[in-house]
Amino acid sequence: MIFSSFLFSCLLFLGSDHFVSEIGLYCIQAMVVTAVFQLCLFFFDMYEMRQDLSLMDIEIRLTQAFGVGCIVLGLLYYLLPPMLMHKYIFWTGYVLVSFSLLIYRYFYHRILRTRMFVQDLVLIGTGELASEIAKEIEGRHDSVYRIIAFVGDGSPVYNPYGAPVFKELEEVDNMSPLVAIQRIVVAPDDKRGSTSTRTLLKYKLAGTAVEQGVTFYERITGKIMVEKVNPSWIVFSDGFTVMSRWRYLVKRLLDVVLSAALLVITAPVMLVSAIIIKFESPGPVFYFQERVGEGNELFMVIKFRSMVRDAEKNGAVWSQKDDSRITRFGGFIRKVRIDELPQLWNVLKGEMSLVGPRPERQVFVEQLVEEIPYYGIRHVVRPGITGWAQVSYPYGASKLDALRKLEYDLYYIKNNSIALDLLVIFYTVKTVLFGKGGR
């Protein structure tokens, strides 16, 4: 829609003959505007559909995103004059795209609100796993599913729309002749369940999709519910495979090239940070700490010091919110992740990757391996500066947070790919620019 609006504006002002003769240039100019505006929409959470936005909210966010986009385009046009559009063409296209996107977004949110195109499913189970799945389905504005019935004993903990509860799956067919079961999600807390395999097979052969609760939860949330996973699920599920040699080489090449480039680009920032750290509080500029890496190998991670000297003289403790040990400048560099930049050297040395589970200290690993199932799986891949858990979950400093972040780490390990790495890097840029997650 953005691309078409600006291209139509060119046609409107230039006429068909001139437009056709220079169509290649005008397409490139429109593509530049489209790329910048879409990135700004992304950074202003306009592709985050969990919130039910009013028309006024949509208009405000669009204006903010496109306002920043115009500033970015101004800088680009200064550096690349051939990309510059005539002011009448640009502002006509701007009005067209603002109006069309506002109307489109308004109707899109109305469609989400009415749940017009959702897929009906039956959720077998009423316990913890079923309730967590129900929260993800019914608690999201942009959910593509709707629970039409629960099957099991007792009442589900989360059932905001009052879906009926049946003892047997066959009873759902008697609800209404207009209701068709499109998907069945099997999520009982009792491993034996309340529905026989023969019954599920009958529905599957009739064209109904049948899915395990843990697998379905992974697919819609981007994480794996650790408490409900058994070893056989890990063994027989797709993923959790050793990285191929080709993918390993590509990942390592990306690590080396990007980390070297980032070290050069951020050198001025690191130099200024080092000077401020040295003047703000006594002690070294860098902080070296032993962490657990791939294959449980220990290595020394390098960070800018963000705490007072001898912050852990009484032993290792989790970092807390408003931690008194953190210096004033240390709080800032943690928030914008500048303290992590020296770890690019760890990446060049091959001890870390740009993307992977965050390396943890051995004293905490020993505790967490004993208390959290499958925690040791994190160490089958190289740890990273950023990761799927870091961009998906707020900064955590407790055993419960470690459990929640492990859910995302296991998802990353199971679905490890170059495409996922690039997606994490893309989201990391947004996280850093908006200061989300740091403590």
Q: Are residues 71 and 214 in the same domain?
A: no
Q: Are residues 101 and 137 in the same domain?
A: no
The strand pairing partners of 208, in sequence order, are none
Q: Give the HSE-up count for residue 1: Cα atoms under 13 Å, Cβ half-sphere.
A: 14
Helix (H, G, I), strand (E, B) or coil at 140: coil
Domain membership flag for residue 229: no
Q: Are residues 62 and 193 in the same domain?
A: no
Q: Are residues 107 and 168 in the same domain?
A: no
CA distance 390 to 435: 12
Q: Are residues 104 and 128 in the same domain?
A: no
Closest alpha carbon to 422 in 391, 393, 396:
391
User: Which of 96, 114, 132 is a domain's end point?
Assistant: 114
Q: What is the DSSP string of 328-367?
A: HHHHHHHHTTGGGGGGHHHHHHTS-EEESPPP--HHHHHH
Q: Are residues 215 and 134 in the same domain?
A: yes
Residue-wise pLDDT tens digits, 346-394: 999 999 999 999 999 998 899 899 989 899 999 999 999 999 998 888 7
Q: Are residues 91 and 48 in the same domain?
A: yes
Sign (positive or negative) of CA dihedral 324, 327, 333, 338:
negative
Range of the domain at 384: 245-433
Q: Are residues 54 and 184 in the same domain?
A: no
CA distance 355 to 389: 10
Domain membership flag for residue 233: no
Residue-wise pLDDT tens digits, 322-344: 667 788 888 888 888 888 999 99
Q: Are residues 400 and 312 in the same domain?
A: yes
User: Which of 168, 189, 221 is a domain's end point?
Assistant: 221
Closest alpha carbon to 338 in 224, 426, 233, 262:
262
Domain membership flag for residue 285: yes
CA distance 304 to 74: 35
> What type of residue is 283?
G
Q: What is the pTM of this model?
A: 0.85
Domain membership flag for residue 228: no
Domain membership flag for residue 230: no
Q: Are residues 86 and 56 in the same domain?
A: yes
Q: What is the pLDDT of residue 326?
A: 82
With b for 16 or more beta-carbon neighbours within 10 A and e for fewer, the 23-57 pattern comes to eeebeebbebbbebbbbbbbbbebeeeeeebeeee
Q: Are residues 264 and 393 in the same domain?
A: yes
Q: Are residues 73 and 138 in the same domain?
A: no
* pLDDT tens for each residue of the chain, 439 residues long: 999 999 999 999 888 888 888 889 999 999 999 999 999 998 888 888 777 778 888 889 899 999 999 999 999 999 999 889 889 999 999 999 999 999 998 898 888 888 888 999 999 999 899 999 999 998 888 889 999 999 988 888 899 888 999 988 888 877 765 567 899 999 988 765 567 888 899 889 988 999 999 999 999 999 999 988 888 888 888 888 888 889 899 999 999 999 999 999 999 999 999 999 988 888 889 989 999 999 999 999 999 988 877 666 665 665 666 667 788 888 888 888 888 999 999 999 999 999 999 999 998 899 899 989 899 999 999 999 999 998 888 776 678 888 999 999 999 999 999 999 999 998 888 887 775 544 4
Domain membership flag for residue 238: no
CATH of the domain at 180: 3.40.50.720
**Domain count across the chain:** 3
